[in-house]
C-alpha cells in the first residue's frame, strides 16, 4: 500500500507542476494579448497607459516570459519518457503508437493555430519526431546535446550562415512590413475568416522563422525535451527523498547564476537607442541573446526546484495539489484559454487588442486561471479525461475511451 500511495503522489506532483507551468503560459499570452508577434507602437502604447502597466510588463518579462515555456517543454520530454517506459515495462514497443499520437497532436495544433498564431502544439509535434531517436541515447548524450543547444550552438550556426537576416519568406517580424500590417488589420478589424486566412500558411512561416533563426526558440525547446527525458530516466520524481539535498543546492546555485546571466545580458545588449528597434546583427548581440537564454533557463530551474521542495511539505502539498486537475487537463485548458483570449482581444470578438491595459489584462488572466482550475477539478470529479485529452486518447488507441471514472 505504501508503494502504491507513493506512486500516486509522484503522478500528482507532476500533474500539479504541469498546472503551475500552464498558469505561466496563460499569464504570458494574456499580457501579450494573443498577438503572436511583435506589437505595433500604437498597440504597445495602449497596453502601457500608466506606471503600474509598465511595472507589470517588466515583472512578467523578467519572471514569467521564457521561463514557463521551458517548464512546459521539460514536462513534454518527461511525459514522453513516462509513456515509453510504462509500455516497455509491459513488454510493448510504444514507438509506433507514440508517432501516431504525435501526428494527431500536429492536427490538433494546426486547427488551434488557425485562430491563434502563437500555438506551440505544432512546434512540439514536429520536434517530437526528432525526440524519438534520443530515447535510447545515453545520459551523457542527452546532457551534452541539451547543453550545446542552450549555450547557443544553433543560434551561432545560423548567424554564421546569414548574419541574422530572415531565413524564410514572410519571416521578418518588423511591424511596418505590408504582410505584417495585413495580419494586424485582420486582428484589429477583420473577421474570424480573415484571421484564419492570415494564419493558415503565413502564420506558420513567421512562427518558424522565430523558432529557427537567431532567437532560437526551437533549439531551446528541444533542449528541454531532452532534459525532461533525462529527468525521467534518472527517476527523480520517484526518488525525491534522495534528490532533496541536490534540489536545494540547485535552487541556490541557479538563483545566483540567474543574477549573473541577467547582468551579463544587460551589459552585452547595451543601452537601446530610443525609438529604434534593437538590431540583432553582431556576435555581441548573439552572445547577449545566449546570456538571456541562460538567465531564463536558470530561473526555470529555480521555479522547478522551489515547486518540488514546497510541494514536499504537507502545507505546500495541500495548496499546490489544487493545480493537479488543471495539469491533467492541460491540453483542453490550453486550447480553452486561447479561445477565450482571441475572443476577448480580436475584432471578431470583443476587440480589446491595444485597448486593454496590462493591469486590466492581468486581472482578466487571474479570473480565467481561477475559473479553469475550478472547472478542471469539477470536470474530473465526473469524468476521467478532459474533452481534448479524451479525443486525443481515443484517436491514439483508435477506439472510443470510457469517460466515466
Give the per-residue pLDDT at 169: 86
Chunk the chain into consecutive blocks of 10 residues (it has 405) and report each block's average pLDDT, rounded to whole numbers: 41 94 96 93 93 95 93 97 91 90 97 96 97 95 98 95 87 86 96 96 92 93 98 94 96 98 94 69 94 97 98 96 97 97 97 96 97 98 96 95 86
* DSSP codes joined into one string, 118-169: T--HHHHHHHHHHHGGGGGS-HHHHHHHHHHHHTTHHHHHHHHHHTT--SST
Give the per-residue pLDDT at 277: 67
8 A C-beta contact, residue 35 and residue 184: no
Cα distance between residue 93 and residue 145, in whole Å: 25
User: Which grid coordinates belong to 321?
Assistant: 495539489
Give the per-residue pLDDT at 242: 94
Give the per-residue pLDDT at 8: 40
Give the per-residue pLDDT at 281: 85
Cα distance between residue 296 and residue 92, in whole Å: 38
User: Which grid coordinates belong to 60?
Assistant: 512578467
8 A C-beta contact, residue 18 and residue 327: yes
The DSSP call for residue 321 is G
Give the per-residue pLDDT at 357: 97
Give the per-residue pLDDT at 318: 96
Q: Which burial class, exposed, middle or buried, applies to 216 when counting CB atoms under 10 A from its CB (0-12, 13-18, 19+)?
A: buried
Give the per-residue pLDDT at 273: 60
- 498546472: which residue's cell? 19
User: Which grid coordinates belong to 82?
Assistant: 513516462
Going 301 to 302 to 304 to 305, the CA torsion angle's sign is positive
Total-model pTM: 0.93
User: Which grid coordinates belong to 196?
Assistant: 484564419
The 8 Å CB, 24+ separation contacts for 363-371 are 364/30, 365/26, 365/27, 365/30, 365/31, 368/26, 368/30, 368/337, 368/340, 368/341, 369/23, 369/26, 369/27
Half-sphere exposure of 299 (CA within 13 A, CB side): 22
Give the per-residue pLDDT at 1: 37
Give which of 22, 6, 16 is closest to 319, Cα–Cα: 16
Going 383 to 387 to 389 to 391, the CA torsion angle's sign is positive
Amino acid at each position: 500500500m505504501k508503494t502504491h500511495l507513493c506512486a500516486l503522489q509522484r503522478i500528482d506532483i507532476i500533474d500539479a507542476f504541469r498546472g503551475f507551468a500552464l498558469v505561466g503560459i496563460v499569464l504570458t499570452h494574456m499580457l501579450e494579448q494573443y498577438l503572436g508577434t511583435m506589437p505595433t507602437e500604437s498597440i504597445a502604447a495602449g497596453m502601457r497607459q500608466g506606471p503600474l502597466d509598465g511595472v507589470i510588463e517588466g515583472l512578467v518579462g523578467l519572471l514569467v516570459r521564457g521561463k514557463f515555456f521551458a517548464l512546459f517543454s521539460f514536462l513534454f520530454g518527461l511525459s514522453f519518457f513516462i509513456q515509453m517506459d510504462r509500455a516497455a515495462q509491459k513488454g510493448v514497443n510504444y514507438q509506433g503508437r507514440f508517432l501516431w499520437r504525435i501526428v494527431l497532436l500536429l492536427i490538433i495544433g494546426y486547427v488551434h493555430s488557425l485562430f491563434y498564431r502563437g500555438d506551440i502544439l505544432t512546434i512540439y509535434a514536429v520536434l517530437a519526431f526528432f525526440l524519438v531517436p534520443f530515447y535510447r541515447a545515453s545520459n551523457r548524450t542527452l546532457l551534452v546535446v541539451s547543453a550545446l543547444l542552450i549555450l547557443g550552438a544553433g543560434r551561432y550556426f545560423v548567424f554564421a550562415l546569414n548574419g541574422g537576416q530572415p531565413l524564410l519568406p514572410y519571416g521578418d517580424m518588423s511591424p511596418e512590413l505590408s504582410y505584417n500590417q495585413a495580419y494586424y488589420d485582420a486582428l484589429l478589424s477583420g473577421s474570424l475568416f480573415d484571421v484564419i486566412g492570415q494564419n493558415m500558411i503565413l502564420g506558420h512561416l513567421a512562427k518558424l522563422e522565430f523558432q529557427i533563426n537567431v532567437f532560437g526558440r526551437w533549439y531551446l525547446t528541444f533542449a528541454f525535451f531532452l532534459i525532461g527525458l533525462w529527468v525521467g530516466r534518472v527517476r527523480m520524481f520517484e526518488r525525491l527523498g534522495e534528490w532533496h539535498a541536490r534540489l536545494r543546492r540547485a535552487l541556490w546555485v541557479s538563483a545566483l547564476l540567474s543574477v549573473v546571466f541577467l547582468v551579463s545580458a544587460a551589459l552585452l545588449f547595451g543601452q537601446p537607442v530610443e525609438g529604434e528597434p534593437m538590431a540583432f546583427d553582431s556576435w555581441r548581440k548573439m552572445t547577449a541573446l545566449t546570456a538571456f537564454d541562460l538567465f531564463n533557463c536558470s530561473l526555470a530551474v529555480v521555479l522547478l526546484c522551489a515547486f518540488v521542495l514546497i510541494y514536499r511539505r504537507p502545507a505546500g502539498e495541500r495548496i499546490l495539489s489544487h493545480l493537479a486537475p488543471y495539469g491533467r487537463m492541460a491540453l483542453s485548458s490550453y486550447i480553452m484559454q486561447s479561445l477565450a483570449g482571441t475572443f476577448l482581444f480580436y475584432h471578431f470578438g470583443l476587440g480589446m487588442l491595444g485597448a486593454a491595459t496590462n493591469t486590466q489584462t492581468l486581472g482578466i488572466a487571474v479570473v480565467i486561471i481561477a475559473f479553469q482550475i475550478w472547472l478542471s477539478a469539477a470536470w474530473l470529479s465526473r469524468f476521467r479525461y478532459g474533452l481534448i485529452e479524451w479525443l486525443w486518447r481515443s484517436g491514439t488507441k483508435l477506439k472510443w475511451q470510457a469517460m466515466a471514472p
